[in-house]
Amino acid sequence: MKDRLPPPSADALEHSARLAARLAEAIRAAGGWTGFDTFMARALFEPGLGYYSGGSRKFGAEGDFVTAPEISPLFGRTLARQIAAVMAASAPEIVEVGAGTGRLACDLLAELEAMGCLPGRYAILELSGELRARQAEAIRASVPHLASRVVWLDGLPETFSGCVIANEVLDVMPVQLVVWRSGQIFERGVGLSAEGDFLWADRPATGRLLEAARALGPRPTGEAEYVSEIGLAARAWTAEWGARLACGAVLLIDYGYPQAEYYLPSRANGTLQCYYRHRAHPDVLLWPGLNDITSFVDFTAIASAGFEAGLTVAGFTSQANFLTNCGLLDLLGALGPDDSPAYVRAARAALRLVAPHEMGELFKVLALTRGLDAPLAGFARGDRTHAL
């Protein structure tokens, strides 16, 4: 795998080696084994060394992946229409979870201002100090007159009314790896070889993980094993909004499937993967701190967690349907003649957001609400709540 990836710089490798040493020390202290969820959490978020806290560029052409807000401002402008409707029915407040470069916040604030629907406060929940600084810089550069409305949170608000946005957040929440083999269920974790290298090691699954795995039913392993992920952390995080959302909506945008598609026999190796310099690869133990580690989202589990916490599952659809329902094509058409350079550039970017072979079908949008009587426009056509 290393041979097919661009080689990291010497400084990057030294950075990764320091994090690997810290991870190995923790594994030894834990008796020689740790669950993959713990490994993933530290590889991504270890202070000063993890992927999201270590200072390297993650987003855009110079990073490891590109998110929808970086592809086109039309993503944020279209999303603003649904957010404005939610705020009108609840409260003029926004919480964005994991704001990345700050691009989405800038686009939303600018569009909501143009619509006359500015929030009184735009709160960003961001754990990375380095990303907070980049977000603040982007906001000062793009919408400086609105910067005073933006605040940063260290944790979920005790109570909240308004609209919560989480774009590509659930996919980086730590997951536990489960292995079905010979009629038994194991948890796959990380151990160390005699030389101190990371390696996979299985132990019998226990507790909540075992319960969740059994609830999925037996996997069709035959003579082989079936490996997949269960995101207990994402379920718990979603359920927290049931205790905190007084009135409004939580909009979750990510790549994933309903449960019936997530655990298909053909996905016997799971969905876990890394992104490094715009290349996806499966070696999640390679170069800790240099790779984005992600897994697809089990939207059925997320919807169930929200519902059991008292929220209403108000809609579930593809990103293409959601953006189209919210007026993407109208916004695109307003950019000018369809043969103008600006329109052509915008149309090409918009196609990446909605085309089935790009982000349009792979990405889904799930809405969890409380206290909203009117249906959400983003799910007016093509709602797939029945598939959850």
Angle between helices 129-142 and 103-115 (to 10 degrees): 40
Residue 96 has pLDDT above 90, yes or no: yes
Query: Which token pair is 339?
Result: 């043969």
Residue 64 has pLDDT above 70, yes or no: no
Averaged over 252-272, what is the pLDDT? 96
Rounded to whole angstroms, the Cα distance separating 124 from 170 reads 16
Rounded to whole angstroms, the Cα distance separating 80 from 336 reads 21
Average pLDDT, the chain: 93
Domain residue ranges of the chain, discontinuous segments joined by +: 68-172+234-261+296-387
Rounded to whole angstroms, the Cα distance separating 268 from 265 reads 6
pLDDT at 127: 86
What is the tens place of the pLDDT at every residue in 133-188? Answer: 999 999 999 999 999 999 999 999 999 999 999 999 999 999 999 999 988 999 99
Rounded to whole angstroms, the Cα distance separating 124 from 100 reads 10
Would you give the DSSP letter of residue 46? Answer: S
- Nearest Cα neighbor of 135 from 261, 126, 350, 246 is 126
List phi, psi (to 5°) of 66. Answer: -125, 130
Q: Which residues pair with 318 in a beta bridge?
A: 364
pLDDT at 341: 86
What is the tens place of the pLDDT at every residue in 13-55? Answer: 999 999 999 999 999 999 999 999 999 999 999 998 999 886 5
What H or E segment, with its residue span, contains residue 35? strand 33-35
Q: List Cα–Cα distances, 69 to 22, 41, 200, in angstroms.
A: 34, 25, 36
pLDDT at 61: 46
Task: Say whether domain 68-172+234-261+296-387 belongs to CATH 3.40.50.12710.
Answer: yes
The model's pTM is 0.94
